[in-house]
Amino acid sequence: MKKLFFLLLIPSIIYAEPLSVDLVCEGEVILFCEDGSPCLKEPATEKIKISGSTLIHNLHGNHFLNVDKNSVSLKELDTDGSTGFSFFIDRKTGQIEIISRWQKPYEYTGVCMLEPLPDQLSID
């Protein structure tokens, strides 16, 4: 009986879909000038998709993330050892921080929540 139960679990393990979430984050972005000084600070909304352990982002592309029970993170270093790109979400509080020092440098901080389902899909 135990062997039969184990065999029934194998197909569900093999065909399991990775968890995918769409997040809407409300926060603030700081854009930096060419000299590295802050130029502009304004409210901003980020839409982020995480599928399995992959970040799918319109601006930054796809990246593999480090996922544990407390956080989702990524850190890429520049050739001089400084932070080139950093992504962090606290899974308990929803706090997010994105730091990009490449191309158009900016920092984003805010709070994320799951994107609500469209009205036609929600159950009343």
Domain containing 31: what range? 17-112
pLDDT at 33 over 80: yes
Is residue 118 in some structural domain? Answer: no
d(CA 27, CA 44): 5
Is residue 5 in some structural domain? Answer: no
Over the stretch 37-90, which tens digit does the pLDDT of each residue have?
Answer: 999 999 999 898 988 888 888 777 788 899 888 999 999 988 888 888 999 999
What's the whole-number mean pLDDT along residues 14-19?
52
The two three-digit tokens of residue 16, written as one number = 């399991």
CATH number, domain with residue 90:
2.40.128
Is residue 121 in some structural domain? Answer: no
Is residue 117 in some structural domain? Answer: no
Is residue 6 in some structural domain? Answer: no
Instruction: Say what the pTM is.
Output: 0.75
The percent of residues above 70 in pLDDT, for the chain, comes to: 79
Is residue 3 in some structural domain? Answer: no
Is residue 10 in some structural domain? Answer: no
pLDDT score for 109:
96
58, burial (CB in 10 Å: exposed 0-12, middle 13-18, buried 19+):
exposed
pLDDT score for 15:
46
Beta pairing class for 71-77 and 38-51? unpaired
pLDDT score for 7:
42
Is residue 41 in some structural domain? Answer: yes
Q: Which of 21, 83, 23, 74 is nearest to 52 (CA)?
A: 21
* Structural domains counted in the chain: 1
Determine contact, residues 85/60, Cβ cutoff 8 Å.
yes
